[in-house]
A and B are shown apart, each in its own frame.
Chain A
Amino acid sequence: MSSRSLWRSLQTQTRRRLAMPETPYRCFSCTRQAQAQPPKPTADEERFTHFGFQNVPESQKESMVKTVFSSVASSYDVMNDMMSLGIHRLWKDHFVRSLNPGSALPSRDHDTAGRGWNILDIAGGTGDIAFRMLDHATNINHDAATRVTIADINPDMLAEGKKRSIQTPYYNTNRLAFLEGNAQSMPSIPSNSVDLYTVVFGIRNFTDKQAALNEAFRVLKPGGVFACMEFSKVDNALFNAVYKQWSFSAIPLIGQLVAGDRESYQYLVESIEQFPSQEEFRGMIQKAGFLIPGRGFENLTGGIAAIHKGIKPLN
């Protein structure tokens, strides 16, 4: 009797359990449903992009980057030295030396290209790279005709560069020009007019990197070179761990102590983390139409930074 009642109670329990609504219905045939793509955002919804680890609307990123660089402009060099332990100077020197700007050979009669290179230095507000290239062209290649246009989206960085240019022999000559503009569209620069397009530690802040690459392809002469130095991915796991530790704990701290601005440097390390790997970025350069010489990139200090190059083909 007791056993029967027990049996009955068990039965009711099982029945009750069966009757329970099984909300997360799990079976294999459902994985397709679960993996089905979420509905695409409609056109009027705004597109989002990375700002460090945050997602922000594309229209806002530009102004946010602007704020960051306006706040770091004055302490830019001190901070770069402290964060990279001075290595960024070696990288920049190597970058300029490998490009070897300036024509060492005199122009011959049947040469079509004029004397001197026309260099466009994008996101080069403080003139770090521009002055190095002019120095190299003048002192190494004895070429006093090579000229550099420094373009930057940020007027504060450009002001810093103008201030520094007073100390250089190129101040107030036609070899150095400043231009405030967005690298994704530079209507003031004619197509096929630039020999060398450089962007050093700048392209990761661009809202639409592919658009900037396409614009670079437009302004370069056929045979012209796109050269870019940017933070990249470290290839050694052990070194990567040390590097990540340094960049995520030390750099914001240094920023807070020296520049009094933790958020800007937090953004800096996060934007480095978000930037595509060497191979992905090479793919983007190829997609814009450039020829890739050799492997296409050169790692510096184990891949903390990498130099990418692309050449615009002759038609």
Chain B
Amino acid sequence: MTRPTSLLALTRRGLSHASSPRAALSLAPRTHLRQPKPQSQIHTTTTTTTTNPRQNNLTITSRTTPSRPNRLSPSTRTYHSDHHPTQPHDYTNSQTTILSAALHHVPTHGFSRNALTLGARDAGFLDVSVQLLPRGEFDLILFWLASRRGLLRSKVESDGLFSAGPVLSVDDKIQILLMERLRMNAEVKDQWQDALAVMSLGENIPLSLSELHALADDILNLAGDKSVDASWYSKRMAVAAVYAASDFVMTRDTSAGLRETEEFVARRWADARAVGDKLTGVRECLGFMGSTAVGLGRSWGLKI
């Protein structure tokens, strides 16, 4: 029993030494064993690992060190945990420096390469260093979305949003959060239509949608929604749809304090609720008719 585990440990250790990041990051132990390893290494290290039971711990810590940007990260999680909040974005330090500096130039230059270049200059980089961001201006937009989402979360967690006033229902909280998020976009209102256009380009749609889902997910979680049935999907769809529609309204809203957008959000959310109620009604009605039909069939002697 000890032998296979020690072998596993040493193959892991062998891989953590490998410079190839893909090899270092793959987690499933079976793929490790399948990797061809030089025989000599196995022979030489078997003795040491069997005598050293702490080897396994060491290998695990060494595997978590590489700071690899996006999509290769093994820690992608599809659910929320209150104890281990997910990072709002996964850019490297240099990327974050350039992007945060570039955000200061967005009100004047828009979500453009020029803003990125100026950000890079401010951060002490060269013009050419914007190559760090392979998606160019879309990276800037994604960073804006992700960082504002993080800001929304921190606002709620520091109790700045819901502390005043009476106890709020989940629906009220959702509306407040939607408005709060829309107000954050107001400072780049004049540039936001361009950003929406970039987000709707074919190659950018998947990432834009996943960011929209992340926002809807965050809003529902922060509002305290704990549904675990099919309404999990419908609620997220509803929040995402209302947010996306209101985003467009916001860019054309000239009223003081975004009053028109606020009314729009209230109306749309009421609509969404109404549709939800109707669907529930239809489902109940169908369920009742179905059970009546079954009962009728049984009373006629059918073996249902």
Chain A residues proximal to chain B, CB less than 8 Å: 31-32, 35-37, 99-101, 103-105, 108, 111-113, 117, 195-196, 221, 223-225, 227, 279-280, 283, 286-287, 291, 293-295, 298, 309, 311, 313-314
Contact = CB atoms under 8 A, between A and B. Distances in A.
Interface residues of B, number: 31
B117 interface: yes
Contacts of B118: 105
Nearest to B127: A103
Given A37-B40, A311-B129, A104 B117 contact: yes
B20 A311 contact: no
B128 A195 contact: yes
B128 A99 contact: yes
A6 B126 CA distance: 94
Contacts of B19: 283, 286-287
A311 B93 CA distance: 13
Contacts of A35: 39-40
A105 B19 CA distance: 39
A313 B94 contact: yes
A311 B94 contact: yes
B209 interface: no
Interface stretch (B130-138, B151-159, B263-271): B130-138
Contacts of B69: 293-294
B20 A283 contact: yes
Contacts of B21: 283, 286
Given A37-B40, A293-B134, A294-B69, A111 B121 contact: yes
Contact of A113 (B94, B121, B131): B121
Nearest to B126: A223
B99 to A, nearest CB: 12
Given A37-B40, A100-B113, A195 B20 contact: no
B71 to A, nearest CB: 8
B259 interface: no
Contacts of B20: 279-280, 283
B131 A32 contact: no
B127 A309 contact: no
A293 B124 CA distance: 18
Contact of B117 (A36, A105, A279, A283): A105
Nearest to B98: A223
B144 interface: no
